[in-house]
Structure 1
């Protein structure tokens, strides 16, 4: 009885184990089958997930997983994670090097792509060639270069450049927001078939002047004042600066920019009432120069000859001959710069080249005027002009004048120049020309003319005949005389004290034609040019900008009696207390031995102790001088 019962119980237990094994096998097979085939009924996903979680197979796997994690071998996830981290670190190291290459080429302004970028191309472009160079010395970099994803596509390059540009613009915007106000500088130029607006900002970091290029904006669709203002607002809004006060704006003198009724400067003032318009001082000085070069017919003829000299010697064969002649005369080879109304430096450079290489130019022209030469007609005419006393006098006079103006032009293009310093420069320039309008100064100039003629084997007699030295001997050329015109009867009752606005044929000048040639050039050339420069400097460098410049100078020397123009205009928007500014200036002056300097102000004035004077100093440094920064950005375009 007992044996039979025991056997029955053992048989029943065995049957139960068999059934459980069959059920587990069926469950595992069903689970594996369902996940292997996939799920088509997504509504029952949660049910099937719960069924899988409760399945014996899943529970057995979880037990094994927990046992493995507790074993001495460590976690598979940890091993996989370590491998993943090493791969990420390797990729990041590679990308850092690639980004540095992009930054290097961008900062140097070099092109990225090549004409042909295939593997068998001899020159694949700067970017790919630098990457190939890196691969020679970095095995990891070389292995990454051979991968499918190697970060060398044009899209990747453009994306990195755009990211860098956005980071730079973001940092500029943060600096401007810390200051609280800025000045805007803009100009437009053509790039290929599009019109681009260069937008720049001027602001201060502490007391350091910063002029930063912000962006180019395509304004081809609308180049009128409204379109340009919209483009500027788009650029400022892109950087989060649209609501920051604009205290000044500087453009060139084009009517679309400087128009007082509906120009860009007037439309900006409607949005920012305190944005003073400052006409670029370098452009102003260039207009003075243009006017002085057109006041006299002899000057205009002289400049036409200079322009024709450039055209002749720009031709390949003539240029080669010019260089060889200079070498034969032991001169440093140079070229005649192309005349231009907007490139300010080229005016003096052209005249300086003609003056210093006069002998080489005339020798080339003598060789080129032989019969049968292609340029014989032009060379003959130019040689005749260059041998005239009027040409030599214009060369000496204008080269001296333009040299002084050239120095001022270069200074006015500096981004660190303050408005007060620019005003001092223009005043000094005018004072220089006023001092030059003296008889003794002209005697010095005339002495230089005669010395130049002697150095180049040209003899000038006192009766005004000039002689050219030729292989056949001296060749005298009588001076060209013009019939004197009758004076206007309207001037009979007037005493004329200046030559400004007069031509050399007027009666007042014609009276001098009977006197010496030196006196004639003084009255018909030297004085009219100087009078025009002085008069144009007086006329153009006046107005609100000059008053603000004087006030800025007063701020920088802590003179509270001269800052009223700035206080009246900017005290309200910048929240400057008029009374406290004067008190703060008194304290700073009391702590200074001698005159107040910018270096002393930088060390002494802090935002916490002198908040009002701090803002005034930043304002005086922020007001712009010109738009040269925008002009420079066109080179990158």
Structure 2
């Protein structure tokens, strides 16, 4: 039905002609309204057969069809968004399970991963366990988009490894110091070397068996010791001994700097350096600083030390 009634005007109008007319229109059904109730049937029949009304009615029909199509498209779009959201939630859960096993160093795959196998591998077994308590996860796991294939596992692990490497590189670039730790182990046919990079603000060295290495890398330990011979805390005893025995040291060097001692020239040079004011100032400063460092050094290396004890010392 295309009629509409106005209570205020007490008249009937043609809805499609009022709203969808693009040219000439019948003012009786669009502007003034029809109040001739006695002849209303004849006028309605005449108006419905007019070409103007038919065109307006067709436009109205097409408009309603377009609204239905728009509603369907909207439903399809919402359905697509929901599917995408569910897939992302499932992918996040699978990735979390995969990374949990990887970070713990637990093997992912089994020797027999068929559905009827009693042990399909840690990853698939963990997914099955998780599916018992999550219906949405179980539904996705049983479908074709389950992300449990070997290729998918490798790809997810490679992506995670790239992210970790990027974070390490970013931290190294932001900070001044980082530590390199190198270790090697001999397998059946070859030696394998592992390199760690730690973002630790200290200068450190770590080597194992470097003194007996052969080939073009021989002497790594000696080269390291040339630049970093020892920790400063180990020098405290030497500095304290020189400070407490300064008078005896001067007398001994004075006696040794005269012939006929074989190394009297070396002793004479040492005596001149010890008598300099710079040597005395550095000796006092080093003794004051290293005495503090020595306390922390002993506390950190003690076998029975605790975190609270070290915190008090530091």
| Alignment TM-score, normalising by the size of structure 1 | 0.25
Larger C-alpha radius of gyration, 1 or 2?
2
TM-score, structure 2 length as denominator? 0.48
